[in-house]
Structure 1
Amino acid sequence: MKSTTRRTLAAVVTGVAAAVGAAASPAAAARAVPVPVPLGGAETALGMELPEVAGELPVPTPGAPEGPRYVEGRLLPERTLPQLPVSGGLPGVDLRQPLPQVLGDGFDHAAVDAPAAELRTLAPGLSLDAPLSAPGGGGFGLPTAKLPQVGVLTPMVQTVPTADLGVGRGL
């Protein structure tokens, strides 16, 4: 293959990779996907005011687990099965319900706004140790017997959900 053909092919591949990376960036950067709920047709068919509803669905993103680490005096590393972190969110909702005024022809509204809340989780992990000690200087360098150790690394869920409830004038 000629060098000019290779250069042209490299430029095309680089351009395609840049275009794919630029197109994927906004989708990957989104924390939540908006979900509108169309009720306009039902309002027309029923001849009445229906609530306005919109939601948000979170996009979970896995993180990089902390790998096993060596601890002096153990044959197996600590965190034999590492914990996997996953970030995401709780679904959000925005709801506005029209309320007819008791005196008059107008409408007021009651609203609930609960935005998508950030959610961080950590899957359970496992830490094991063999029933043998590490080889030492005594005993001709042979390991000695000991009780095996098993530990479960506890999972974690962390979030701070918020919501606003309000009543106001107009729709």
Structure 2
Amino acid sequence: MKPTTRGNLAAVVTGALATALAAATPAAAAGSVPAPVPLGGVSQSLGIPVPEASLDVPLLTPGTPDGPRYTTGRLLPEGILPQVPVGGALPGADLHAPLPRLLGEGYDHLDIDAPASGLHTLGPGLDLDAPLTQPDPHDFGLPGLKAPEAGLLAPAVRTVADAGLGADSGR
């Protein structure tokens, strides 16, 4: 292979890679990737209109957990097993389905639009404390006894889902 051919091939591959990465960046920022459902062939083979569908596939991105926090009066840090945040989106769907008219010819349409909506979660965490106090200088530096503490940090989910249903005639 000539050096100019190799150079041209490298330029084409680099350009294609840059284009793919540039196209993927907004999708990753949005939290979901649109995925059309190809039903055109079914419509052509059956000779009738079929629904048009498009789905939004969520991209989940884990976040950085808050590390354990040391506080006075405890031997072990608070949040010994921290909660891990995960962000993404709920799956979305867009459906446009033809409905045959009962009287007359033609079709009406039913539209369902459920856009992908943001999703923020926190995984469960664990909080423990030892059954000993900090060393006491008045007791020759020995720790005292206390009741052990154990707590489960509950998971959390935060989202706002939205959907729309509509019908129209014609097309």
The two structures share one fold, judged by TM-score above 0.5: yes
1:19-50, Cα deviation, whole Å (9 max, x unpaired):
xx978744542421111011111111112111
Counting matched residue pairs gives 154
Letter in 2 for 1:112: I
Residue 45 (structure 2) aligns with: 45
What one-letter code is carried by the residue in structure 2 that aligns with 1:49? P
The alignment status of 1:157 with 2:157, answered yes or no, reads yes
Distance 1:105 1:23, change over 3 A: closer
CA distance in 2, matches of 1:46, 1:164: 29
CA displacement 1:146-165 (0-9 Å, x = unmatched)? 22111110101111111000
Residue in structure 2 matched with residue 63 of structure 1 by the alignment: 63
**Which residue is 1:77 aligned to?**
77
Structure 2 Cα separation of the partners of residues 108 and 95 of structure 1: 14
**Conserved? CA contact 2:122–2:157, under 8 Å:** yes
- Which secondary structure does the structure 1 equivalent of 2:67 belong to? coil
Give the partner amino acid of 2:39. L
The alpha carbon displacement at 1:105 in A equals: 2.4
SS in 1 for 2:143: coil
Give the match for residue 120 of structure 1.
Answer: 120
User: SS state of the match for residue 35, structure 1?
Assistant: strand
Q: Deviations over 1:51-108 (max 9, x none)?
A: 0010001111111111111111000000000000000111100001112233432322
**What's the secondary structure of 1:134's corresponding residue?**
strand
Q: Which residue of 2 aligns with 1:36?
A: 36
Question: For 2:115 and 2:149, how far apart are their aligned partners in 1?
Answer: 44
Deviation for aligned residue 1:136: 2.3
Residue type of the alignment partner of 2:85: P
Unaligned runs of 5+ in 1: 1-20
SS at match of 1:73: coil
Percentage of pairs with the same residue: 57
Structure number having the greater strand percentage: 2
Match of 1:108 in 2: 108
Q: Equivalents in 2 of 1:101, 1:89: separation in Å?
A: 37
The root-mean-square deviation of aligned C-alpha atoms, in Å, is: 2.3
Cα offsets for 1:107-151 (capped at 9, x unmatched): 220010000111111000001101110112320121112221111
Unaligned runs of 5+ in 2: 1-20
Q: Any idea what SS the aligned residue of 1:66 has?
A: coil
8 A Cα contact 2:27 2:33, kept in partner: no
> Which range is displaced more, 139-148 or 82-91?
139-148
